[in-house]
Amino acid sequence: MREGDYLPLLQIALREDLGDSGDVTSQAVAPDGERAATLWSKDTGVLAGEEVFAAVFRAIDTDVRVRFALHDGAFLEKGQRVAEVTGRAVSVLSGERTSLNFISFLSGIATATRSLVMQARATGNAVILDTRKTLPGWRALSKYAVTVGGGRNHRQGLYDMVLIKDNHIDSAGSIAEAVRRVRARWGTRFVVEVECRSAAEVSDALAAGVDIIMLDNMEAEEIRREVQRIAGRAKVEASGTMTPERIPAVSAAGVDFISVGAITHSVRSFDFSLKIA
C-alpha cells in the first residue's frame, strides 16, 4: 500500500474531525507530558490497516510513536493487545477516533473476506474477488484490505480491463458486436470479460473468444452446467448476490472466481478500543 493511496483521504478525515480549532476537549482536559495508550481487539478476525492507523497520529504530531505487536494479516482474538501509541496526551486523544475508524473498517473487510475465502476453499478452488462497489475515495484502501483477507482484486477501475456488461451489450446490439468494437479499438491490450445472463449469451461469448465469462445471477446448478460447457475455453466468474450461504455451492460448481460486492460496501466494522493507561 502506497502513502498516496490513503493520504488524501486521511487529510479529509482529520479536517472534518478537528476543524480549525482541533480537539477542544482534550486541549482543556489532557495532562501535559507523554502518555501511552493501548489498542485492544474487542472482536475476532483479521487485522488490516496498521499503516494508515499509524499515519493518522504522524499527521497530527510527528513525535507520536506507534508500535504494533501484531501486523496486517494476523488473526485477532477478543482481548488481544494489538499496538501501543505513545506521545503527548492531547495528540493521542486527537487521533483516537479517526485512527480507529480506518483500522476498524479495513479489518472488517479483511475479516469478511477471510470468511468467504475459507468457505470457497472448503468445496472448490474459486478465488474470491472484490468489485468496484466501494465507498468513494476508499477504493485503494478497501481493495488492499481484501488482499489481506486472502481475496484478490478485480479491476481497480474502468481503465485497466474491459468488462462488457448488459448495458454495453444492449447498446452495441450483441456480444459479438461489442467484442468486435473492443478489439478494433484496443486490440489485445486489455483482458476482455463479458457478463452473460443466459446460456445463449455464454455461447456468443465463447464464439467471440473472450478471456473471462461472467455468469451473472445464475443458480448453482446452472453455473455447473455452464462451467462444464465452457470446458476451460475461458476463465469463469460467478457474480450476483453472492451471499455466504451461496459461496460453497458456487465454488463447488467449478468456477475460477466469485465476485462479491458486499465485502467492500456492507461489512461490519471490527471492534477495537484505544485505552490510555
CA angle 97, 102, 105 (to 5 degrees): 115
Cα separation of 31 and 276, whole Å?
12
Nearest to 248 by CA among 228, 224, 270: 224
CA 208 – CA 6 distance, rounded (Å) = 40
Q: What is the widest separation between alpha-carbon atoms in the chain?
A: 72
CA atoms of 87 and 61, how far apart (whole Å): 8
Q: Give the active site residue among 23, 96, 193, 216.
A: 216
| List 65, 97, 121, 197, catalytic entry | 97
Catalytic residue among 121, 132, 133, 235: 133
Closest CA to 60 of 104, 105, 13: 13
Say how far apart CA 90 and CA 3 lie, in whole Å.
25
Nearest CA to 194 among 176, 174, 167, 212?
212
Annotated catalytic, 216?
Answer: yes
Task: Based on the residue annotation, tell me whether 50 is a catalytic residue of this protein.
Answer: no
Cβ 268 vs Cβ 244: under 8 Å: no
Is residue 183 among the annotated active site residues? no
Exactly one of 72, 195, 226, 256 is catalytic; name it: 195
Active site residue 195: yes
133 is catalytic: yes
58, 65, 121, 165: which one is catalytic?
165
**Catalytic residue positions, numbered:** 97, 133, 165, 195, 216
